[in-house]
Amino acid sequence: MSTAKPASTPVVELRGAVVELPGGHRALDRVDLEIRAGEIHALMGQNGAGKSTVVRALAGVWPLTAGTMCLDGAPVHVRSPKASRAAGIATVFQDAQLLPHLTVAENVMLGREPRGRWGIDWGATRRHAHELLTELGLEDLDVGQRLARLPVATRQLVAIARAMVDEPRVVLLDEPTAGLQQVDVDRLFAVLRRMRDKGVAIVFISHFLEQVFAISDRITVLRDGAKAGEIAVGDLDRVELISMMLGADLPTLQQLASQRAQHSEVVEGVPLLRAEGIGRANAVRPTDLALHGGEIVGLAGLRGSGRTELARLLTGHDRADQGRLFLSGAALRLRGPRQGMLHGLVLSSERRNDGGIIRGLSVRDNLILSLQALRGWNRPIPTKEREGIITWALRAFGLGEHVLRRPVDELSGGEQQKVALARLFVTRPRVLVLDEPTRGCDIPAKVDIQRLIATLAGEGGTILVISSELDELVRLADRIVVLKDRGKIGEISNGPGVSVDTLVELIAASD
Ligand SMILES: Nc1ncnc2c1ncn2[C@@H]1O[C@H](COP(=O)(O)OP(=O)(O)O)[C@@H](O)[C@H]1O
Ligand SMILES: [Mg+2]
């Protein structure tokens, strides 16, 4: 890790950079960023924070709608990928721009092949490619090998070598380690360090916190499209960094004490749902998890840490490719969400429109639909039972009778979320997995939903809650499982000593 203080003018600089998408959404909001020669600069932030947008802006894919980009201190207009390349910026997009049926040498040199009298000089092409790979420490790659025969990780390295052909001054890498094994990550990092030591400025994005700490010299943290802070890795305070990613209101959150004071009773007996080493390539590392009847378990972690992915494995929305599930001690194999539902394992997705509610249909129809689907369409629910269910749902969720006939999309965000949850509650699930159940809700709706979750558990329901608002987990959960970098890193039973701080420290702690 280089600790030298940067003194030079940045190679590339953003000042007050704004990227406004069609529709007016600001994917980037007045961001300042300085990219220096010989530094690996990591962009961090939760999903949707704007990291890829920075890369797209620098790459000329999404030009700035306001603000300035400077090259060696002078303003430049980068309005196309071509202009970005002309400015000495190379972007490594995953795999996409490589041609699998060509050789390594051809891919590296594509469009830049040395020419002789008779056209492309293939000997020189291979030699050049080999030299370039050697400079990156990849001399063992066989330049005559067809790309299609090489593993993905090696192709990734070829893509980087290809980016180096034009001798760029800045190289942008958006999640180059996604899907790579540790040995491949090490190899990639060795290449990046070599490039850095040659004076190339590197912009690097990864979801894996530990990778960012290992490779980068400087970190810019983004949140909701804006810059939340910048840290030199030498002075890294992990807790501060995670707090920056999570949001500025953390100090307030930290004031909140656990409201569930008496919660550390030991859970015993056969868990209702137990996962043993369950995982899925590139999504969740093998994870153990047990949910006992009547328990509320929280799933904490940054967005992108694998929480949603784990929730999907537990409910049959994605197929696990390793590990096993047990329901009341009996092995269970889930082949799809419907099968999960038939076993009483139900997921409420973080995106309401993603199966949570059906737009255009009335609240009444939405409330009944899940239950009807579960029973089968040829077995109508008797009127009396149906009305009973609707009355219960309205009362439980504090929804007025007047909403029943209205299309659900006309309701407020909080009301829509209540309908989405009520739909699932009426099916009386054995295990309810709630992904961000209160996101986008106002405070009263949040409180209502939290109260309902607690009530459901009080009646014996078992609930797994994912929330980006750590105080919500501290308030609700009996136990909190912490995920980081797509795997479980810890588990704590909630109680008087547990606070938002405890969770932040767990996430920030080094492996
Ligand atoms: N193709 C797209 N169309 C519309 N909005 C997008 C698109 N890609 C990203 N966004 C929005 O832009 C914002 C920034 O996203 P992005 O830069 O991709 O985040 P990150 O890479 O940090 O996860 C988010 O609000 C996201 O929803
Ligand atoms: Mg991204």
Cβ proximity of 380 and 408 under 8 Å = no
Residues 185 and 127 in one domain: yes
Say how far apart CA 459 and CA 456 lie, in whole Å.
5
pLDDT confidence of residue 352: 63
pLDDT confidence of residue 238: 84
Which residues form ligand 1's pocket by a CB distance below 6 Å?
A: 21, 27, 45, 47-53
- Is there a domain that residue 5 lies in? no
Q: Measure 47 CA to ligand 1 centroid, in angstroms.
A: 8
Q: Tokens 């369409």 correspond to what residue?
A: 377
DSSP state of 356: I
Show the domain range for 98: 12-247
Residues 392 and 463 in one domain: no
- Is there a domain that residue 1 lies in? no
- Is there a domain that residue 6 lies in? no
Q: Measure 227 CA to ligand 1 centroid, in angstroms.
A: 15
- Is there a domain that residue 254 lies in? yes
Residues 127 and 220 in one domain: yes
Residues 22 and 43 in one domain: yes
CATH number where 58 lies: 3.40.50.300
Residues 108 and 45 in one domain: yes
pTM equals 0.75
Show the tokens assigned to 408.
Answer: 């659900």
pLDDT confidence of residue 493: 92
pLDDT confidence of residue 277: 97
Residue where a domain terminates, one of 229, 247, 265 = 247
Q: Name which residue sits closest to atom 26 of ligand 1, judged by CA.
A: 48
Q: Tokens 């030699």 correspond to what residue?
A: 127
pLDDT confidence of residue 143: 94
- Is there a domain that residue 277 lies in? yes
Helix (H, G, I), strand (E, B) or coil at 341: helix
Cβ proximity of 450 and 474 under 8 Å = no
Residue where a domain terminates, one of 398, 428, 458 = 428
Residues 357 and 335 in one domain: no
Overall number of domains in the chain:
3
Q: Which residues of 289-323 are buried (b: 16+ CB within 10 A; e: fewer)?
A: bbbbbbbbbbbbbbbbbbbbbbbbbbbbbbebeeb
Helix (H, G, I), strand (E, B) or coil at 485: coil
pLDDT confidence of residue 98: 85
Residues 128 and 217 in one domain: yes
Residues 460 and 503 in one domain: yes
pLDDT confidence of residue 63: 94
Residue where a domain terminates, one of 428, 450, 470 = 428
Q: Name which residue sits closest to atom 3 of ligand 1, judged by CA.
A: 21
- Is there a domain that residue 106 lies in? yes
pLDDT confidence of residue 221: 95
Query: Which residues of the chain fall short of a pLDDT of 50?
Result: 1-3, 248, 251-264
Residues 188 and 128 in one domain: yes
pLDDT confidence of residue 146: 94
Q: Measure 58 CA to ligand 1 centroid, in angstroms.
A: 15
- Is there a domain that residue 372 lies in? yes
Residues 422 and 474 in one domain: no
What is the helix, strand, coil percentage profile of the chain, to 5?
A: 35, 25, 40
Say how far apart CA 277 and CA 323 lie, in whole Å.
4
- Is there a domain that residue 23 lies in? yes
Say how far apart CA 404 and CA 395 lie, in whole Å.
12
Say how far apart CA 19 and CA 37 lie, in whole Å.
25
By residue count, the chain amounts to: 511
Say how far apart CA 318 and CA 311 lie, in whole Å.
9
Residues 81 and 144 in one domain: yes
Q: Tokens 């180059």 correspond to what residue?
A: 176
Residues 313 and 417 in one domain: no
Ligand nearest to the CA of 23: 1
Show the tokens assigned to 143.
Answer: 């330049």
Cβ proximity of 352 and 416 under 8 Å = yes
Say how far apart CA 464 and CA 214 lie, in whole Å.
33
